[in-house]
Structure 1
Amino acid sequence: MKKLFFLQAIGLFFGVGQSAPSAQVDVAPRDLEKRGPTCNTASNRRCWSDGFDITTDYEAKIPNTGVTRRYEWNITQHTDWVGGDGLPKDIAMLINGQFPGPIVKADWGDWVEVTVRNQLECEGTSIHWHGIRMLANAVNDGANGITECPLPPGATKTYRWRAEQYGTSWYHSHYSSQYANGLTGSIQIEGPASLNYEEDLGVFPITDWYYGDAEALQRSLIPRPGAAPRSDNVLFNGSHVNAQGGGEYYRVKLKRNKRHRLRLINPSVDNHFTVKLQNHDMTVIATDFVPVNSFTTSQIFMAPGQRYDVTIDASQTPGNYWFNVTFSGSQACGNSWISDTHPPAAIFQYDTVQPGTPTSQGTAPPDSKCEDFISYTPVVEKNVPRGGFSATEDNTLDVELVNKPWENFPERVYWNVHGSTMNITWEDPTLEYIAAGDLDFPERYNLHTFSGDWAYWIIENTSGIPHPMHLHGHDFYVLGRSPTVDSPFVAPFVPFNPATDISKLRFDRATRRDTTMMPAKGWVVLAFRADNPGAWLFHCHIAWHAGQGLSVQFLERVADIPGTVQLSDIEPVCTQWTEYYATSQCLQFDSGL
């Protein structure tokens, strides 16, 4: 495959080939305003514009706004960077010098173009747009080694994608565990909602934070036991107090007697947590990018990669209230050192009172046991064909923790999926193979193909660690999963049993999202419609585990992929990367993802 890159004309060396766009209206990112007739008001959030509302299936129909949102990003590297908690981080990698990165804002149906310039000292990079469907557009998915080569230092490329869904998401580097150094940000796509509200508080990312360098931390997981490190802090929209007493709590203002929309995001590397606003309920209106029939709860468990759009009624006694983050008692899904001194929290303040520290600690939520809630119903209800499902060896993916040699390491901790560990080659992405007409993939690419209109997968977890599983290019249907066990590290593994478990699956009006939990010592069954040609990554969203190989690729509608991607879309950056990497000092030491 490498020979193909060196045969390219010099004129392909710079930039990335793109299909000619239709006539577009450029709108600056800061000018987030709805264009054309709209019926979306505080008293009618279900409506959006003529012919589009909350009941519109965005997989079948999206608005044609004629608008392209353009962004320009510089990715830079900083040593001993002082973050929003007041303490230095060894190595920070930032977009336009900020953390979190710039918010990508658009309206439903807009096109988004982001030009990325890599100014890192040594490492390549890529940007993945988490949850974005990328229909027939896998080449812009941003998964290096799968859909593209990494962008080398000094190079520039432009990603182009359409806001086919609406709601809340985030983006991050997919180059090893690089996003643990700060390469993340939020996505806010305006559209209808399943519940009325007056105020939109915007995105609210809550993330673990590590003072050490991401590569150093990932390398520390090579020998046994290979366990994920505790985070040093938890940041709320980039801020929090630190263990030494510095920093400050992030503060959100509520307008008394108003209903507020809050867009919760967990862009963590490892930490799963439960969030709770003391003395207030939250009403969930969307999970990931899927609008749901609203339901009210006092707390929400959030795995890495998951998003929840909620509304909050500011109807309590005016004051300052804790917004708390708590961890599962088993510590099977992460913890943070900051919990030992300052329980992670933000402050929600009514606008009629002075800022202050809440006087009531409130009550802790029940232990989540690392389990996300799946018993809700999407607004747009869909059914999964029952007749297409069967339990076979071909559609069962077993996840196991192993120790084995890898290149120059005599033994290292790795995750096997279906007997193989993901280990891509950055300079030979899967889509480049396909565009070149080569379907002879290395075994370590962990590729799975399937036929038919629907894909059904049983994922079984033999380990005592639950995993947040994320699929690129799709919303999947969560058909069912095994019960959560109380003592996952000592409990026996319980595989999927067709004789007793098929009847427990929910095929009608099933929950949809793009990230869900796979329980420890058990199983989860997922389905998705095979309608998006491409190579789509399915992986654990604990970044350390993805680096340890916990991923597979789904190769979908292979015959249709060449019609969606050309060699000229991929090779310009791949040529630059291959030439740069030949003399680079920053070499691949993990799965590459």
Structure 2
Amino acid sequence: MRPIALFQAVGLFLGLTNAAPSADVSVASRDLFKRAPTCNTPSNRACWSNGFDINTDYESSIPNTGNTRRYILDVTQTENWVGGDGQVKKLAMLFNGTFPGPTIRADWGDWIEVTVRNKLSCDGTSVHWHGIRMQRNSVNDGANGVTECPIAPGTSRTYRFRAEQYGTGWYHSHYSSQDGQGLDSSPGAAPAADNVLFNGTHVSSAGTGDYARVKLKVGKRHRLRLINPSVDISYTVSLVNHDMTVIATDFVPVNAFTAPSVLLTPGQRLDVTIDASKTPGNYWFNVTFSSSPCGSSRFAKPAAIFQYDSVAAGIPTIQGSAPTDTLCQDNNNFSPVVRRTVPSSAFKVNETNTIGVELVQKAWQNVPNRVYWNVHGHDMNVTWENPTLEYVANKDLTFPERYNIHTVDKKNGDWAFWLIENTSVLPHPMHLHGHDFYVLGHSTPPRTPSPPR
């Protein structure tokens, strides 16, 4: 058995990754390793191949497969597009004409090449590979204005990176607000979603569309890849009468723990297993929202249907009880299988290592109260034609203040400690492009528990 990395496009909420790769995909041939005769069984997937297993430190040891997987993504736009819930969308931007876009599959250690062709009428674009480690390869991160110029209409670029970790990821446009098109008249908290889509489909309040349906094989354990690609909405998901066992989050395998529901914040991925051991039937897979301000939907009860393969398709009759309100708080049970040790430090909080995050309103062009997330007192306003990486390549470190650059003056191998404070009334996730970071604690006041997560 080989660990794999999978990526799905923006718009995918429940990532079962059952879409086929696009037709424009190739992979170099390679010899297959023989599977170990006894250590890999349906109840034990810890043993893989050729000296690699779940305890292998993927930061220092990666399989050399010799493979390059190649994909082509065409970025197009369609007006008056009929979505998976049967409702007309004024404008849709799509990968290869589908929503969600095609799945990118690779083995751990493969190289991945994705050619992105911009077929939009007027906008530039780029594609960010969310969660992928891009150390020594930031030019392929896909953050225009930072690591590259936008891909102009009618042109293309090829991204090349290695699957240095395994698990579930997603890709999305990183140009302006293409990953979350739409405007709302009221500044402040994020507006309620029109609907919640499961693998791109759902019913609507108008009666159009259909429920997404997932089949379970009686007596089998199923791996479910959950992705939340929303702009600013957190979801709690649960399967009626079934528990979920969490085995990985954000490309990091974790010591398994079981829960009746899990919280997914924007950009987060969770790999869970579900045992099809209950009375065969049709069960609701429910989405609920916190009472705190981290998202809501105009559709009252978003849900998909999980169907045992031994029964006919039907509408579930048991709604299930509401899961515990998370109050928008992250789960603290994550403990990595590959343990990390963060060195002791005489860390003292000061203005140079404290990053403040706040929500502010200010005028911009003809918009009097545009909402910004300020980081360290500034919102980031980059120039497309002069990305940050170009300054570095030209050995010019005199960045404009609006670029919001924070220099970490550390030699390779040293550590940087930061305190991140959210002073707004709204929760908001943060992620660091191209790297993993270690959470030492979160509370008021700051604390540093052990072990790091």
Could you tell me the TM-score, scaled by structure 2's length?
0.90
Decide which of 229, 233, 253 is 1:291's aligned counterpart: 253
* Residues in 2 aligned to 1:306 and 1:436: alpha-carbon distance in whole angstroms: 35
Instruction: Tell me the secondary structure at the aligned position of residue 480 of structure 1.
Output: coil
- Verify: 1:127 aligned to 2:70, yes or no: no
Instruction: Tell me the secondary structure at the aligned position of residue 325 of structure 1.
Output: strand
Amino acid at match of 1:413: V
* Residues in 2 aligned to 1:389 and 1:375: alpha-carbon distance in whole angstroms: 25
Q: What is aligned with 2:226?
A: 264
Q: What is aligned with 1:456?
A: 417
Instruction: Tell me the secondary structure at the aligned position of residue 433 of structure 1.
Output: helix
Q: What is aligned with 1:439?
A: 397
**Structure holding more helix per residue:** 1
Instruction: Tell me the secondary structure at the aligned position of residue 261 of structure 1.
Output: strand
Deviates more, 1:400-409 or 1:161-170: 400-409
> Is this contact kept in 1: 2:27–2:70, CA < 8 A?
no
Decide which of 236, 240, 256 is 1:278's aligned counterpart: 240
Q: What is aligned with 1:428?
A: 386
* Residues in 2 aligned to 1:366 and 1:248: alpha-carbon distance in whole angstroms: 28
* Residues in 2 aligned to 1:273 and 1:391: alpha-carbon distance in whole angstroms: 33
The one-character-per-residue Cα deviations of 1:204-233 (angstroms, maximum 9, x if unpaired) are xxxxxxxxxx1x51xx46xx6343221111
* Residues in 2 aligned to 1:383 and 1:407: alpha-carbon distance in whole angstroms: 48
Q: What is aligned with 1:490?
A: none
Instruction: Tell me the secondary structure at the aligned position of residue 392 of structure 2.
Output: helix
Q: 1:281 to 1:178 in 2, by over 3 A?
A: same
CA deviation after TM superposition for structure 1 residue 292, in Å: 0.6
Instruction: Tell me the secondary structure at the aligned position of residue 33 of structure 2.
Output: coil
Q: What is aligned with 1:151?
A: 151
Amino acid at match of 2:209: G
Q: What is aligned with 1:418?
A: 376
Q: How many residues align?
A: 424
The one-character-per-residue Cα deviations of 1:384-425 (angstroms, maximum 9, x if unpaired) are 112153211111111222233445655533232211111111
Q: What is aligned with 2:217?
A: 255
CA deviation after TM superposition for structure 1 residue 37, in Å: 3.0
Instruction: Tell me the secondary structure at the aligned position of residue 64 of structure 1.
Output: coil
Q: What is aligned with 1:309?
A: 271
Q: 1:338 to 1:30 in 2, by over 3 A?
A: farther
Deviates more, 1:410-419 or 1:356-365: 410-419
* Residues in 2 aligned to 1:299 and 1:411: alpha-carbon distance in whole angstroms: 37
CA deviation after TM superposition for structure 1 residue 31, in Å: 10
Amino acid at match of 1:509: P
> Is this contact kept in 2: 1:230–1:335, CA < 8 A?
yes
* Residues in 2 aligned to 1:124 and 1:371: alpha-carbon distance in whole angstroms: 36
Decide which of 395, 403, 411 is 2:353's aligned counterpart: 395
Alignment of 1:114-513 (within 5 A): 114-180=114-180, 214=181, 216-217=182-183, 220=184, 225-330=187-292, 332-339=293-300, 343-406=301-364, 409=367, 412-452=370-410, 453-482=414-443, 497=445, 501=446, 504-506=447-449, 508-511=450-453
Q: What is aligned with 1:558?
A: none
Deviates more, 1:386-395 or 1:69-78: 386-395
CA deviation after TM superposition for structure 1 residue 479, in Å: 1.2
Structure 1 runs of 4+ with >6 Å offset: 30-34
> Is this contact kept in 2: 1:378–1:509, CA < 8 A?
no
* Residues in 2 aligned to 1:277 and 1:318: alpha-carbon distance in whole angstroms: 14
> Is this contact kept in 1: 2:28–2:69, CA < 8 A?
no
* Residues in 2 aligned to 1:405 and 1:472: alpha-carbon distance in whole angstroms: 29
> Is this contact kept in 2: 1:374–1:478, CA < 8 A?
no
Could you tell me the TM-score, scaled by structure 1's length?
0.69
* Residues in 2 aligned to 1:275 and 1:69: alpha-carbon distance in whole angstroms: 33
Instruction: Tell me the secondary structure at the aligned position of residue 389 of structure 2.
Output: helix
Q: 1:401 to 1:115 in 2, by over 3 A?
A: same
* Residues in 2 aligned to 1:393 and 1:413: alpha-carbon distance in whole angstroms: 24
* Residues in 2 aligned to 1:64 and 1:442: alpha-carbon distance in whole angstroms: 41
Amino acid at match of 2:440: L
Q: What is aligned with 2:34?
A: 37
> Is this contact kept in 1: 2:249–2:268, CA < 8 A?
yes
Amino acid at match of 1:92: A
What are the ranges of 5 or more consecutive residues in structure 2 without an aligned counterpart?
1-23
Q: What is aligned with 1:520?
A: none
Amino acid at match of 2:260: S
* Residues in 2 aligned to 1:34 and 1:276: alpha-carbon distance in whole angstroms: 41
CA deviation after TM superposition for structure 1 residue 459, in Å: 1.1
CA deviation after TM superposition for structure 1 residue 480, in Å: 1.2
* Residues in 2 aligned to 1:413 and 1:99: alpha-carbon distance in whole angstroms: 28
* Residues in 1 aligned to 2:347 and 2:267: alpha-carbon distance in whole angstroms: 27
* Residues in 2 aligned to 1:61 and 1:152: alpha-carbon distance in whole angstroms: 37
> Is this contact kept in 1: 2:33–2:50, CA < 8 A?
no
